């Protein structure tokens, strides 16, 4: 092999080491949450975030109205709204946790790919 091939392989090894170091540390929760808004599903995640805020506002409004309702029928209606929107908030939170988990799993797969590539290179070098 030529000298240029050796230099390219060495540069790739350094790049793999840098990538592996990048993926070694698990990012904090806030960074993982921000990552959900940077992927290819960012518009869905932004829309879900807006719906979560809207549902949270409705939970607060329904709770307030429940305690200021005059009749039993109105209290039942506001309690139903409160529960409905609270469940909606919970489901959207589960959506975000699943997105965070998906990104974390993708990070782990990338880490494994880098380790397999490194191991493969080491095995080829031994032959």
User: Which DSSP state fits 25?
Assistant: S
> 39-61 pLDDT, tens per residue?
788 888 899 999 999 999 999 99
Asked if residues 52 and 92 have their Cβ atoms less than 8 Å apart, the reply is yes
Which of 118, 127, 107, 119 has the alpha carbon at shortest distance from 24?
A: 107
How crowded is residue 78: how many other Cβ atoms within 10 Å of its Cβ?
19
pLDDT recorded at residue 65: 96
Q: What are phi and psi of 2, to 5 degrees?
A: -85, 170
Claim: this prediction has a pTM higher than 0.85: no
> 65-82 pLDDT, tens per residue?
999 999 999 999 999 999
**Domain boundary assignment for the chain:** 3-126
């Amino acid at each position: 092999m030529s000298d240029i091939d050796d230099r390219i392989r060495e540069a790739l090894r350094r790049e793999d080491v840098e990538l592996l170091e990048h993926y070694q540390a698990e990012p904090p929760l806030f960074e993982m949450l921000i990552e959900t808004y940077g992927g290819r599903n960012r518009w869905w995640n932004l829309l879900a975030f807006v719906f979560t805020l809207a549902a949270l506002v409705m939970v607060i409004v329904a709770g307030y109205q429940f305690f200021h309702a005059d009749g039993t029928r109105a209290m039942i209606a506001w309690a139903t709204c409160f529960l409905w929107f609270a469940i909606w908030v919970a489901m959207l939170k589960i959506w975000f946790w699943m997105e965070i988990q998906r990104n974390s799993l993708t990070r782990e797969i990338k880490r494994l790919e880098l380790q397999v590539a490194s191991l493969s290179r080491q095995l080829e070098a031994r032959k």
